[in-house]
Chains A and B, each alone.
Chain A
């Protein structure tokens, strides 16, 4: 009871701090009781469905420094409050991270993209989160800050399960840091859903591949999937089948099958397990074909 009173005294159910230090201070005291709100496009849907109670909102809308997208020679830093509209209209993201750019432009609708943020998409940790396969594929790292300390964690270590992450109540996701891909990097993004706008992905796939300097041998590859496992994840087994080889040594069908064998989809309103298996194999093959075409034309 006393605790509730002190909480109410500090702020009346809603606060929008001007400084990040203030946000972290509030989180260190009341991290378990309050809900951080950014765009609200996922959070408010869940809230009004009465999936949980909220005693107070901590609104990040005044965190100007978290809305910036900054690029230098080595990496890009995307503030957690950057909206999907910002991501899809950023020339730097389009140039260096086309899959992230396309994934952002495939989200929801103009109304949703104008409000929804990259940080929200990440901490919401939906298995179908549209930006997540791309972030893993591009080796994104997340900066987590708290009153006491800050840490950097890689995207693939952040997600624990549907709606579950390693983020602690006193922590804030502040930035997403992605290294600039090497030259000769090719990528493909495929999102499958029942329609184009306002759809939660039935399956999604981000494939990012880098060729060696000679542009002949595959140096690095990441195949990441959404909506077919408890978290977005990378198919690690693909690496040994592709790295060090040339395109003409690859069997696209076999690679598609390998991806299908490694996923663990469920039946839900968006599709059956069997449907997801078939489609996953096919989109893997299509992504490889698309990348192969782009590579061939670039030579």
Chain B
């Protein structure tokens, strides 16, 4: 089967394709924070181009007298692509049984596309996607770097959600620096800060590369909607004697149905 990814045109053995796919899955899964916290729909396919918003807008004119018209509004999907190269010598060595094939280009591309997805969902993508923190009507409080204050700030965010009628459980996306601070900190008496925050939220705390600060969201469902067209895939671009040029790609839309259901905490 050949689809738009053109994988079968690449000079890559089946075993090497499995190696690449597994490496990509391993690198992507820890970093795809948004998918751990928001509703996911799909994948609906590469030819899925827009999300139905159920909204209309008026048209300035009608084709002729005696009729009226409206135009449907849709949210177009975005395509995200991260190109990378793999040395053909490394793929040949992998086929020989080498367990340490150098797939650094793939690893970097996987991280970058995960970061792009996280940023689009939590902070937005100008002209394409309104992120959770952009949509949220709640005041953005500064998280800072004093971890003693983190339980109070996260509890405050949860309380603001409750005041808006947003029930839990709640999840917390932490930027890289904030996540490191949380996992390395034990509070007075030795209680891990990670566990304390988990008890406040009653939900997961996720490492979210690309997120600036932190974002608290309700996990009750129906508030944050990620719609996948083509889910993350590796495609083939071209090759020469030395390298194979591949790419990681996905298409998706994201919309906030309940702006009150998320609270951003600035770094």
A binds B: no
Residues on A lying within 8 angstroms of B by beta carbon are none
